[in-house]
């Protein structure tokens, strides 16, 4: 099974704090960094909004244990893909 980089994300909301907001999967650390940079580059300039999503931690390597469909999407992606759910699957 291929080793990929999982990046957790969290939603921050003023007055409520932070909560899990999904994860992304990347072929390698370079793609992970590029994905995060592209994400921030797309955000509007100005003051921090009351609610926004941000990376949670630095990401971590894991064997891909999702279906082949996720792996195919990952390989075809530019820098990574969003996974389904709020947390990555458990490692084998």
CB atoms within 10 A of CB 51: 11
Domain for residue 19, yes or no?
Answer: yes
Those residues with Cβ within 8 angstroms of residue 87's Cβ, 6 or more apart along the chain or in another chain: 8, 20, 23
Is the whole model's pTM more than 0.75, yes or no? yes
Provide the residue range defining the domain that includes 59: 3-82
Predicted local distance difference test score (pLDDT) of residue 91:
58
CA–CA distance, 84 with 75 (Å, rounded to integer):
17
Q: Single out the residue of 4, 40, 11, 10 nearest to residue 25, CA to CA.
A: 4
Domain for residue 77, yes or no?
Answer: yes
**Domain total in the chain:** 1
Domain for residue 71, yes or no?
Answer: yes
Domain for residue 53, yes or no?
Answer: yes
pLDDT > 70? residue 90: no
pLDDT > 60? residue 16: yes
Domain for residue 89, yes or no?
Answer: no
């Amino acid at each position: 099974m291929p080793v990929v980089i999982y990046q957790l994300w969290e939603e921050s909301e003023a007055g409520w704090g932070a909560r899990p907001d999904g994860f992304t999967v990347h072929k390698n650390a370079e793609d992970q960094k590029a994905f995060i940079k592209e994400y921030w580059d797309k955000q509007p300039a100005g003051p921090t909004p009351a609610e926004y999503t941000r990376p949670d931690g630095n990401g971590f390597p894991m064997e891909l244990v999702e279906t082949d469909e996720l792996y195919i999407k990952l390989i075809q992606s530019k820098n990574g893909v969003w996974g389904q759910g709020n947390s990555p699957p458990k490692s084998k």
